[in-house]
Structure 1
Amino acid sequence: MAERVRVRCPACRREHLFAPPVLPCACGAPVAPPVVRGADPEPVSERTWADDWVTLRCPVCGRHDRWPRPELGCDCGTLLRVPVQGDPAPVAPAHIPLPRTAPAPRAAFQPVAIRTARDAVTAAALYLRWLGFGDVRRADQRPPSGVGLAARGVVAQVEPSVRPATLRDVECLWLQAMTESAACVYFSLAGYADAARGRADELGVPLFVLDLAGVPQPVNSPADELLAGGA
């Protein structure tokens, strides 16, 4: 549990003992936002992505990731955003590739032609297995759109419709992966909205577009790295 600090509500001057939430890093280590002692909390009047998240560095593996900024509900009804000291990190992307030894050569990927939504899901599952993720299956948790897949250490989402994946789609997949301490991969038949691609680059989410031949094509740097190194 994170260390408790005293937080005073600027609206009613009531004082609270507050402990920031502890969440797991992808490596499994617990990470808690370092609350700034003595700083006044800020009442939340409206929400934006930049205000709701803070970039922190895992003290165990050194990974930089976005974490929910801690909030506290006062008894007077005011929602307070508690100031934290964000660890310095690159602006984008948050994903930092690590050096790899040369992987063993993989056999050529054997695609399946995509004619139906089911074919798209099958193509994505085969590709995950080809990358080295074993025991690919339907995810227990159904995503807001598309079809969810899961394997050991990874969750994936497949959007088989003609609708480009949105920023919300990418963020929801990333949050699910953070909750399960897993990596994540997105496959889309119709591509991605510009905002979705930008957020995926910031969060380090690999994006692939499925062509009708059933071959996933990487569309950002995290996807290129996953293709090059495998699971």
Structure 2
Amino acid sequence: MSESVPVRCPACRREHVYTAPSYPCACGAPVTPCLDDTAEPTPVAHRAWDEDWVTVSCGSCGRRDQWPRPELGCPCGAVLRVPVAGTASAPAPAPEPRPAFHPVTIRTALDAITAAALYLRWLGYRDIRRADQRPPSGVGLAARGLVAHVDPTARPASRRDVECLWLTAMTEDSGCVYFSLAGYAEDAQEGADALGVPLFVLDLTGTPQPVNGVADELGARGA
């Protein structure tokens, strides 16, 4: 059952009664964050991905997942972040080793896009979809905090291609990664190293091969 706590807006001093939302665990049981009624709510001045999520354990199966941090909108215009009990001292879950990556053989351009999407999911990115902005060539993919470019053509990617992806990522305040079937021009690799863009080559087995150091790091640590 969701709990309710009194919340006073620090901006206008108006009192509210806030009820914590529940979310469905993978086991089917509802998961509700435990609210801290002894701590003061904090106004949300700016958005940061890490601050918008909180880790909550399922009371039925013990699974720990991240859910949106509880927030309350006050009529005065303030958005208040409601404190959750135990988040500061909660132990981090032990990371589970990633399973082996299972590629798909690349025979068509669609296979290359599928291989890149599967690899991003294997790295830990979620909600992978077609990007809203279409690149001049190839296909754009997007996930939480990431934009990716998949170039399934027989032309090596140019420095301009890499820089265009980087600029798109900057406008969306996200990271980026480039997948190419035909590899990269020499100046494209130099530009990617300067900008910190991970470059991967898609071999015909469907396994992305890192081209530069930041790609090696991304493949090792995951999302």
* Same structural fold, with TM-score higher than 0.5 when normalized by the shorter chain: yes
In the alignment of these two chains, the number of paired residues is 133
Give the one of 199, 204, 227 matched to 2:219: 227
- Give the Cα–Cα distance (whole angstroms) in 1 for the partners of residues 185 and 152 of structure 2: 15
User: For residue 174 of structure 1, what is the amino acid of its counterpart?
Assistant: W
Give the one of 149, 158, 182 matched to 1:166: 158
Partner of 1:113, secondary structure, is coil
State how 1:44-193 maps to structure 2 within 5 Å: 104-193=96-185
How big is the shift at 1:103?
Answer: 5.1
Q: Runs in 1 of length 4+ with deviation above 6 angstroms?
A: none
**1:165 touches 1:196 (CA, 8 Å); kept in 2?**
yes
Structure 1, unpaired ranges of 5+: 1-26, 29-101
User: For residue 157 of structure 1, what is the amino acid of its counterpart?
Assistant: H
Partner of 2:106, secondary structure, is coil
How big is the shift at 1:144?
Answer: 1.2
| RMSD, aligned α-carbons | 1.6
**1:124 touches 1:216 (CA, 8 Å); kept in 2?**
yes
User: For residue 127 of structure 1, what is the amino acid of its counterpart?
Assistant: Y
- Give the Cα–Cα distance (whole angstroms) in 2 for the partners of residues 134 and 201 of structure 1: 26
- Give the Cα–Cα distance (whole angstroms) in 1 for the partners of residues 160 and 176 of structure 2: 15
What is the TM-score of this pair, normalised by structure 2? 0.58
What is the TM-score of this pair, normalised by structure 1? 0.56
Partner of 1:148, secondary structure, is strand
1:196 aligns with 2:188: yes
- Give the Cα–Cα distance (whole angstroms) in 2 for the partners of residues 199 and 167 of structure 1: 6
User: For residue 153 of structure 1, what is the amino acid of its counterpart?
Assistant: G
Deviations 1:54-113 (A, max 9, x none): xxxxxxxxxxxxxxxxxxxxxxxxxxxxxxxxxxxxxxxxxxxxxxxx953100001000
**Higher relative contact order (CA closer than 8 Å, sequence separation 6+):** 1
Structure 2, unpaired ranges of 5+: 1-47, 50-93
Partner of 2:155, secondary structure, is coil
Deviations 1:164-206 (A, max 9, x none): 0000000000000000000000000000000000000000000
**1:103 touches 1:229 (CA, 8 Å); kept in 2?**
no
